Structure 1
Amino acid sequence: MPSKKVLFLASANLEAGLTSMALGLARALQREGLNVAFSKPIGQSPLGAGGTADPSIAFARDLCNLPVTGSLPLTRASDLVAAGDIDGLMDEVVDLMDELHGDYDVLVVEGLVAVETDTLALPVNAAMCRALGADLVPVVNANRPSASDIGSLVRRVARQFGGNDDTLDVDGGFAGILVNKVPEDTDPDSLHGLMQADLGPNLPILGTVPFDPSLYAPRLQEMVDAMNLTVVNAGAMESGRVSEVVVAARSVELVLPCLVPGALLVTPGDRADICLAASLSFLNGTRLAGLLLTCGSRPDAVVSEIMRPAAEAGLPIFLATDDTYNVAAQLAQLDCHVSADDRHQMERVITSIADRIDVSALLPRLGAATKPLLSPSAFRHQLVQLARSADRRIVLPEGEEPRTIEAAIKCAQKQIANCVLLGDPDAIAAKAAKLGHVLPSNLEIVDPASIRARYVAPMVEMRKHKGLTPEQADAQLEDTVILGTMMVTAGDVDGLVSGAVHTTADTVRPALQLIKTKPGAKIVSSVFFMLMPTEVLIYGDCAINPDPSAEELATIAIQSAETAIAFGIEPRVAMISYSTGGSGIGSDVEKVRDATRLAQSLRPDLLIDGPLQYDAASVASVGKQKAPDSAVAGRANVFIFPDLNTGNTTYKAVQRSAGVVSVGPMLQGLRKPVNDLSRGALVEDIVYTIALTAIQAAAPEVPAVSVAEAI
């Protein structure tokens, strides 16, 4: 029987999203530094009976890195309840908790999900809650009830679990309530206030989560499998999802406004006008989920030939033998639960929910001292929070690039930074519309032609030693990266992010020429944040300096330690080599040894040690054996590599072989922050790079120590 605090989550009504809310709560508690364990004592498929195995435990273990218990089969629970042996079932449930080893602060338990005509979930959930000595967290689906209805549901749950519905507070066995799927036309914060007024101030409302259709969009492959469809053209089917269904039963001009990204267009194959409209829309940039032809009919040869460019561009096309009405009915019944193998989507769901949960009211009740925890999700969450606090203005020179537009929209919506897109406002608005987005009012768009002239004279002044003329400056400023760099130099914006379509040299060269390095810093270096399963490591330099000298290596170590501090990481810096301590000889290890001594003398306040082999730096047992007196060995979190060959190879080997997410490279040593993107960057990569840049811009100035003067 667990001695720690137990939170038991149970659905207050149908389709409450119990699994995602339980994992979202676990993630929110992790972000506060708590050690969280997870249990789904009785397994069930997403639909409640039959089908695939319950994915809750796998998601908890693999996505949230939680210690987990096993699950009893649903049939076992049903048999024991039918035999009148619910006490025997509870004995087996409690025995499962013995599988939890190690230290944890709180156990999150997901109860049985109630389904239609189900009579098992309620009595078993109530019995489990009592047997585990748990505090109850009802989860409410807000898609239908009003605020007062939610209050009635919570009071009914209190009665069902043997409590007093007149005592809706933490002393009555409740830890709080969670509300999921708040309708799109309802403000979650307003609903939160109404519910709090109805339920009283002593029952914490831990979160009100808005309904996001994209989180419940089934994959095209799942649709094909469930409906036994014929794939006419696979196109982008592998990554496609159905966010909405459009049944084309009207004239084409009335269907056109419904053709938005993620829409699945359903039409009989003989509706040439609809098929051609879908093809043209896709070719114009609207990423439809696909075209589903009904009645077993395909377009004729002439129409198919006209549609061929859209098919070659990736438009998925499917064929159903049923008529349109029956196909639409089948689509309405598609299972929208996240499949066990759909880890990326479930990560999105968990993160989205955790962002809306506030566990501050729970912390005193849990009685555990929180501590900084930088799991990958916690680090990403911290980036967003720090960037919001920074409130910086970041210019995006590639303002007409679709991924950049989408990233800027997300940053505006989440208030991560005040983004400035450089580009033609009409072109940006049109591309946003094709992506299915409306440009937020707090997203700034600047036409480069409207501001270019103001930077000609300052640029000429800065580059006059190179003989730059006004005419040359005006011509160079037509490059939006150079224009954006001048905006940073002039203090009109706080930082710059580029590289989605430009090379690293295109991004970095103007920064070196115009922004220049910090006083005392002779070089610009870079770091990657390596998001390991349970912590975040910093690798430097893996992108800029091919073969740094001992003096430059010392600078990189100090810069990287300061970066760690800016991002809430207490740096323990390991200077990596093929040898540990004084055991090795050769110019390469001597360079690392000299760099270590120099960095230690310049910054005695930092924990820096070397030379250390990678295993001696990262593995406690090896570090204790090879460097027993080191404060860094075995527990390093900042790794400084001796050259670019070693650093770049190591970061990519770890990233690819271990499936580790890396964020970066982030440039260090410039007077003001400029960061480069990979040309294959995803929208999320751009969002987090913008957040990094905003945080850098807000970091307090640390006087740079001149390495040259210290030698």
Structure 2
Amino acid sequence: MDVARSVYVAGLGPGVGKGTVALGLVELLSRQVARIGVFRPLLSGPGDDPLLSLLTERYPVMAPYADSYGVTAAEAGSLIADGKWEELIGRIVGRYREVERRCASVVVIGSDFAGGPSSSSADEIPRELGFNARLATEFGSVVIPVISGEGRTEETLGAAARSAYHSLTDLGATVLAVIANRVPDGRCAPTAGLPVPTWSIPEVAAVAAPTVAEVAAALGGTVVTGGDGALDRDVLDYVVGAAHVPMLLEHLTDGALMITPGDRADLLVAASAAHAAGNVTLSGLVLTLGEFPDPRAVEVIERLNTGLAMLVVPTDSYHTIAAAGRIEARLSTRTPRKVEAAIGAFEQSVDTAELARLLDVARSTRVTPLMFENDLIDRARADRRHLVLPEGTDERILRATETLLRRGVADLTLLGDPAEIGRRARELGVSIGDARLVDPSASEWRDRFAARYAELRKKRGVTLDLAYDVVRDVNYFGTMMVAEGLADGMVSGANHTTAATIRPAFEIIKTVPEVSVASSVFFMLLADRVLVYGDCAVNPDPDAEQLADIALSSARTAAAFGIEPRVAMLSYSTGSSGAGADVEKVAAATALVRSRQPDLPVEGPIQYDAAIDPAVAATKLPSSEVAGKATVFVFPDLNTGNNTYKAVQRSAGAVAVGPVMQGLRRPVNDLSRGATVKDIVNTVAITAIQAAVR
């Protein structure tokens, strides 16, 4: 049963980055409870609140945006001006209670205004700390104060942590933990003298830096070149282009946004060429004075294929750089990379297991899609593995790599020409960090892999010379890395067919001894549960023995991912209601499953409706321990399985995660060629978990 708790994130001072903490908390709680809420007591400005919009759109919260805040700043100001402080508190608390009633847990993001109810003037806004402490008490929330680590030493950080704790407890608040955010590397906030944990989140440029899109919006810029990817780049520095070309090149830095008058075509071309050559990785180009560049220069720059955004702004260079320096980065739905970086920083710095224990939130018996997906990330991070991704230059793979490394899901090797991978990453503005880059054609492992492959396939007439050519293929090379223990698993298929991805695994890795056939499953993420469908991708028409192997493999896969296996061997007949060769095959397979694993709940032949619907099961198979509550659905052939999973995916709005290969000695998984970045992240996490449980 869910335990209703509320946690209040209170920022002590401007720009502390409490959005990172709020995001991390919602991410943590979304793994534990199915009914989660977020609440903003006060919307501090006109228009939509970016953080609240992000949280209500990213997570399946129980209250929509319109119900997830108390009052606007204008409403608060009006009430305070009329001396109606208690009415303001009452209105906010009333709105909060409406959210709380729907949810098992609520994350409250504290207000951002200053002033004080104790002030002699009723026109002054309440002081932020006292206001947040009062609301937390009224809500029954525990509080996590967030302090800034920027510019502080370890000694002053510790003092700030103690001050935050005592200031809030003196106001009657219950402090759960203290978090210092944007802390310089290597520094921490000591917990000496505090009865609660203190955690430090380091300054992360990808979180703190604005994107090119944010700069464009703040400066009123017009985008001349560059798509969404170019506008999503992080701006780590500003460089004003005013001198001659050699001087400019000397001062360009990685992540810099170059600001220069629009008539300086020489500087634009030089900076673009330096970026394209890999001398420096810029974030973009800004042209001042409202002057558009010479079309001939633009043509040259476009031919360089830099992938950079070029903006034109109406102000001069001085006022442009001054305004740019005041731009603050924000977490929002428009900054997905920033969001992943913030979550990664939170998860790597905060003891989330201890925090979950302190929050005392019992895990829900329901499993939502988000809970399942987040659990994958958690389990992969807990036993980190090394995986190889053969399609190293693919945009989706590179973006997924950035997310996977920031979230600490796995260590990664990308296959391909390192120079080309690096160039592609620079074009996209993504960071591939510590990923290992390996070129199969030039690798020192190629001779070793060729000899091994020739030995494995000599009965098929494979010579050493032929093997030397075969292992140059990225999928064969990646599979050999797994077979030789240089990687724990492989994920491919974004640009390759299923056959091209899994054929090397069948030839090199092979199946486990007790399984006659490799197969696959999809995890079908429904609104309140996760089902396992097999086999929907590999075996066209398995015989009874193969079908039994698929059932047993699927049950093991389900159990490995926390799903209690209750296996339904599907057919067009339930029990003895029908006859025919297809029914007999399923009946024989069911008998084999029972004989090989007597303790596994299995039913078959059984129709889909009897397997999933308790009402139908009560009529057709009232005494079955599987009917009406099956979790693993084994289809009699590929045609039935593939069509059924797609029908459920489209008609029921289910999320299909897979195909997940099973039965191999080591994990190799195939991606759909239409896979999204999220699909790749999930598949890598699944593969890492498979590697860990072997």
Shared fold (TM-score, shorter chain, > 0.5): yes
In the alignment, which residue of structure 2 is the partner of 1:668?
662
Percentage of pairs with the same residue: 38
In the alignment, which residue of structure 2 is the partner of 1:15?
15
Structure 1 residue 674: deviation in Å?
2.0
Contact 1:106/1:366 (<8 A) preserved: no
In the alignment, which residue of structure 1 is the partner of 2:205?
213
Alignment partners' CA distance in 2, 1:24 and 1:413 = 13
Contact 2:263/2:291 (<8 A) preserved: yes
Alignment partners' CA distance in 2, 1:606 and 1:689 = 27
In the alignment, which residue of structure 1 is the partner of 2:118?
none
Counterpart among 128, 142, 158 of residue 135 in structure 1: 142
In the alignment, which residue of structure 1 is the partner of 2:178?
177
Deviations 1:478-506 (A, max 9, x none): 33433443444445544333334443322
Alignment partners' CA distance in 2, 1:621 and 1:135 = 44
Alignment partners' CA distance in 2, 1:266 and 1:356 = 35
Q: TM-score, normalised by structure 2?
A: 0.82
In the alignment, which residue of structure 1 is the partner of 2:551?
557
1:320 and 2:313 correspond: yes
In the alignment, which residue of structure 2 is the partner of 1:548?
542
In the alignment, which residue of structure 1 is the partner of 2:60?
65
Alignment partners' CA distance in 1, 2:179 and 2:106 = 17
Pairing 1:512-523 to 2, within 5 Å after superposition: 512-523=506-517
Contact 1:42/1:77 (<8 A) preserved: no
1:296 and 2:290 correspond: yes
Counterpart among 46, 62, 78 of residue 50 in structure 1: 46
1:693 and 2:687 correspond: yes
Match for 2:502: what amino acid?
Answer: V
**Matched residue of 1:247: which SS?**
strand
Structure 1 residue 552: deviation in Å?
3.0
Alignment partners' CA distance in 2, 1:617 and 1:213 = 51
Match for 2:191: what amino acid?
Answer: Q
In the alignment, which residue of structure 1 is the partner of 2:120?
none
Once the two structures are overlaid, the 10-residue window that deviates more, 657-666 or 77-86, is: 657-666
Deviations 1:416-440 (A, max 9, x none): 4454555566666676677778886
Alignment partners' CA distance in 2, 1:136 and 1:121 = 14
In the alignment, which residue of structure 2 is the partner of 1:229?
221
Deviations 1:238-261 (A, max 9, x none): 863443353332443454477678
Counterpart among 329, 339, 342 of residue 336 in structure 1: 329
Contact 1:495/1:674 (<8 A) preserved: yes
Structure 1 residue 202: deviation in Å?
1.3
Change (3 A) 1:8 1:520: closer
Change (3 A) 1:645 1:265: farther
**Matched residue of 2:170: which SS?**
coil
In the alignment, which residue of structure 1 is the partner of 2:77?
78
Change (3 A) 1:642 1:215: farther
Alignment partners' CA distance in 2, 1:580 and 1:329 = 74
Change (3 A) 1:160 1:512: closer
Once the two structures are overlaid, the 10-residue window that deviates more, 271-280 or 117-126, is: 117-126
Structure 1 residue 471: deviation in Å?
2.9
Once the two structures are overlaid, the 10-residue window that deviates more, 66-75 or 292-301, is: 66-75
Contact 1:529/1:664 (<8 A) preserved: yes
Pairing 1:670-685 to 2, within 5 Å after superposition: 670-679=664-673, 681=675, 685=679
Contact 1:338/1:345 (<8 A) preserved: yes
Contact 2:344/2:408 (<8 A) preserved: no
In the alignment, which residue of structure 2 is the partner of 1:204?
197
Match for 1:87: what amino acid?
Answer: E
Query: Over aligned residue pairs, what C-alpha RMSD do you find?
Result: 4.2
1:454 and 2:448 correspond: yes
Structure 1 residue 562: deviation in Å?
0.9
Counterpart among 518, 522, 525 of residue 519 in structure 2: 525
In the alignment, which residue of structure 2 is the partner of 1:28?
28
Match for 1:110: what amino acid?
Answer: I
Deviations 1:329-387 (A, max 9, x none): 33334453234666786466456535543244455655554467754554445434544
Match for 2:504: what amino acid?
Answer: P
Change (3 A) 1:433 1:297: closer
Match for 1:665: what amino acid?
Answer: P
Alignment partners' CA distance in 2, 1:343 and 1:415 = 17
Structure 1 residue 8: deviation in Å?
2.4
Change (3 A) 1:585 1:637: same
Match for 1:42: what amino acid?
Answer: P
Alignment partners' CA distance in 1, 2:265 and 2:537 = 53
Match for 1:66: what amino acid?
Answer: V
In the alignment, which residue of structure 2 is the partner of 1:508?
502
Q: Which runs of 5 or more structure 1 residues have no equivalent in the other structure?
A: 165-170, 701-711
In the alignment, which residue of structure 2 is the partner of 1:703?
none
Alignment partners' CA distance in 2, 1:475 and 1:340 = 46
Alignment partners' CA distance in 1, 2:654 and 2:377 = 20
**Matched residue of 2:70: which SS?**
coil
Change (3 A) 1:11 1:621: farther
Structure 1 residue 605: deviation in Å?
2.6
In the alignment, which residue of structure 2 is the partner of 1:566?
560
Change (3 A) 1:277 1:504: farther
Change (3 A) 1:532 1:289: farther
Once the two structures are overlaid, the 10-residue window that deviates more, 440-449 or 471-480, is: 440-449
Match for 2:144: what amino acid?
Answer: V
**Matched residue of 2:7: which SS?**
strand
Alignment partners' CA distance in 2, 1:441 and 1:162 = 43
Deviations 1:28-58 (A, max 9, x none): 2343x356643425230xxx222325752x5
Change (3 A) 1:362 1:502: closer
Change (3 A) 1:119 1:346: same
**Matched residue of 1:523: which SS?**
coil
Contact 1:216/1:338 (<8 A) preserved: no
Counterpart among 203, 226, 244 of residue 236 in structure 2: 244
Alignment partners' CA distance in 2, 1:144 and 1:657 = 54
**Matched residue of 1:196: which SS?**
coil
**Matched residue of 2:691: which SS?**
helix
Counterpart among 471, 492, 510 of residue 477 in structure 1: 471
Structure 1 residue 138: deviation in Å?
1.0
Change (3 A) 1:257 1:463: farther
Change (3 A) 1:40 1:469: closer
Contact 2:39/2:106 (<8 A) preserved: no
Q: TM-score, normalised by structure 1?
A: 0.80
Alignment partners' CA distance in 2, 1:210 and 1:645 = 51
Change (3 A) 1:363 1:314: closer
Alignment partners' CA distance in 2, 1:533 and 1:20 = 27
Change (3 A) 1:238 1:328: same
Deviations 1:215-235 (A, max 9, x none): 355565555444333333354
Structure 1 residue 320: deviation in Å?
1.9
Contact 1:375/1:536 (<8 A) preserved: yes
Pairing 1:266-665 to 2, within 5 Å after superposition: 266-280=259-273, 289-310=283-304, 315-334=308-327, 336-339=329-332, 346=339, 349-350=342-343, 352-362=345-355, 366-370=359-363, 375-388=368-381, 390=383, 392-398=385-391, 416-421=409-414, 443=436, 445=438, 448-491=442-485, 493-532=487-526, 535-576=529-570, 592=586, 595-609=589-603, 617=611, 629-633=623-627, 635-652=629-646, 662-665=656-659
In the alignment, which residue of structure 2 is the partner of 1:704?
none
Deviations 1:524-580 (A, max 9, x none): 212233455555443332322233344433322221221122233323334455666
